[in-house]
Amino acid sequence: MSIEAQSELAEAFVGGVVRCFGLSASVQSNVVDDVIEVSVTGEGLGLLVGPRGATIDALQELTRTAVQHRSDEHTGRIHVDVAGYRARRATALREFAQRIAVEVVETGQSQALEPMSAPDRKIVHDAVHEIAGTATTSEGEDPRRYVVILPAAVEAEQADGEDADDDADDYDGLEDAAGEGAAVDDDVDDEVSDDDDLDDDAEDEAEDADAEDDDADDDADDADDSDPDAAPDAD
C-alpha cells in the first residue's frame, strides 16, 4: 500500500473518531517527507487533546495501529495534531529548554528536567544544542526517561571516562527543573482553553442526571407511603 493510501486511511480513521465524539471538525492529511500528517481543526476540540496531550497521543497511536493493520507494507510515521496543539507545545518546550540552558551556562550547574516522551526529548535536545556552552544527555528508562542539561565542560569530563551519576537526585536543580517542566505543560494546556470547559460540562450533565434519578426515587417512596388503598393489617 502506498504512503498516499495510508494517508487516506489515517484521515478516514481520525474522521471517524471525531464523529464518534460528536464533534464538528475538519480532518485533513498530507504526506511531508514520508511522514503522514493528520490535522484536525475546528472549535471546542479540547476533548481530543486531553490533559497534557494524553488523549491526542492515544489517538495518534490508535491511528498508527489501524493503518498498520490495513497495510501490507511498512507503515510510514504518522503524526496527528488537533487545533495546532503540538506546534504550540513544541514552541513552549523549546523556550523552556533554552531558558534552563542559559541558567546552566550562568551557574555551571547541571539541571535535570521532568520525564517526558521521546518526541519531547528530541525537541529539548535540538533546542539546547543551539545554546553555546551546553550539552544534553538522557537518563533513566521509559516512561520515566528524562533529559539532563549540563555545561559542555562537564560533558567533556564524562567523555574522558568519568561515569555520570545515575541518581537523578544528585543533579542540582532537579526539583526546580521538574517544577518548571510541569508549568510548561500547564501553559500549553491552558492555550487549548476548551479542555476544562468540556470536562466540566460532562461532569455537570452527569450530576444533573444523578439528581433526576434521586428525585424520581424520592417521588416513588412518597407515593408508597401515602397510598390510601394499602391493605389494612389482618386482625
- Average pLDDT over the chain reads 77
Structure confidence at residue 151 (pLDDT): 95
From 138, 126, 133, 128, select the one nearest 99 (Cα to Cα): 128
Share of the chain above pLDDT 70, in %: 65
Does the structure show a pLDDT above 60 at 118? yes
CA distance 106 to 215: 64
CA distance 36 to 67: 11
Q: Are 38 and 29 in contact (CB under 8 A)?
A: yes
Structure confidence at residue 57 (pLDDT): 93
Longest dimension (CA), the chain: 102
Give the pLDDT confidence of 10-48 residue by residue, as tens digits.
999 999 999 999 999 999 999 999 999 999 999 999 999
- Residue 226: pLDDT band with limits 50, 70, 90: low
For the chain, where do the domains classified as CATH 3.30.300.20 start and end? 3-83
CA distance 28 to 84: 13
Does the structure show a pLDDT above 80 at 208? no
For the chain, where do the domains classified as CATH 3.30.1370.50 start and end? 88-191
Structure confidence at residue 35 (pLDDT): 94
- Residue 1: pLDDT band with limits 50, 70, 90: confident
Structure confidence at residue 171 (pLDDT): 33
Please tell me the chain's helix, strand, coil percentages from 3-state DSSP, rounded to the nearest 5: 60, 15, 25
pTM (predicted TM-score):
0.63
Residues 3-83, CATH architecture: 2-Layer Sandwich (3.30)
Sheet holding 25-32, edge to edge: 25-32, 35-42, 77-82
CA distance 105 to 126: 17
Class in CATH terms, 88-191: alpha beta
Structure confidence at residue 90 (pLDDT): 94
Structure confidence at residue 65 (pLDDT): 94
The CA-based angle 160-108-133, given to 5 degrees, is 70
Structure confidence at residue 8 (pLDDT): 95
Q: Are 135 and 145 in contact (CB under 8 A)?
A: no
CA distance 64 to 71: 10
Give the pLDDT confidence of 66-110 residue by residue, as tens digits.
999 988 777 889 999 999 999 999 999 999 999 999 999 999 999
Helix/strand/coil for 189: helix
